Homo-oligomer: A and B are copies of this chain.
Amino acid sequence: MELKQDNYSTHISQQFNDELEEIRTELLTMGGIVERQVHDAVEALLTGDAEMAERSRRVDKQTNDMEVMIDERCTTIIARRQPAASDLRLIVAISKAVNDLERMGDEASRICRHAIELVEDGDSQRGYQEVRHIGNLVRNMVKDVLTAFARNDAELAYHVAKQDKAVDLEYRTAMRSLMTYMMEDSRAISSCLNVIWVLRSLERIGDHARNMSEHLIYLVSGTDVRHLPLSEIKETAGISDSTED
């Protein structure tokens, strides 16, 4: 009888583990789609490919559906499995991360919309170098935070959070350039504004990647590091002081 009970518990617990692994896999799948969408949105803009922008924009529907589906699954697991401690943390972190991914997808769609407008305007390429540069930084953040989730790697997550500072700095510099372009040539105002919105969306995607990295650090360490300065996040993530900053 006891053995049977044990087998039963193992069975239940194995099933539970499978369910947890499943939502983590779904998060990573959704992450891959969003990563691709961000990539395509930036490429479509830089190459003036309105068709690619239109295609990438439609992906939004898919990520919206995935958000609702994963969220529902999280709630069902909580209701049925009544998880405690670290299991509950995993579910909470995934639910929050999925929300950030969905918002990244929204921003990627916005980039596509502006890419299409820029093509229609006869794009002047003003500010494109800034978009390429910040786009690369942000895409790396998205890639890294997904890797961090796949590996439960708090140190990599911390580096993503740190990278967000660099993006914010580049963003402010780029905004100043765009403002100068507009002042120099008022006919460029409309297209410069489109580029400004794109830069803003990229900066927001960086913010969401940083949020995701904070959710992962919460998952690994049990400490909610949102709104904390980088130095405290570093400590929480268990990174030794010798790491270069």
Contacts and interface: CB of A to CB of B under 8 A. Distances in A.
A166 interface: no
A46 interface: no
A64 B227 contact: yes
Interface string A61-78: 000110110011001001
Q: Main SS of the interface on chain A?
A: helix
A32 B221 CA distance: 32
A99 B97 CA distance: 12
Nearest to A103: B103
Most buried by B among A78, A84, A200: A78
Interface residues of A, number: 30
Contacts of A82: 82
A51 interface: no
A72 B190 contact: no
Contacts of A179: 189-190, 193
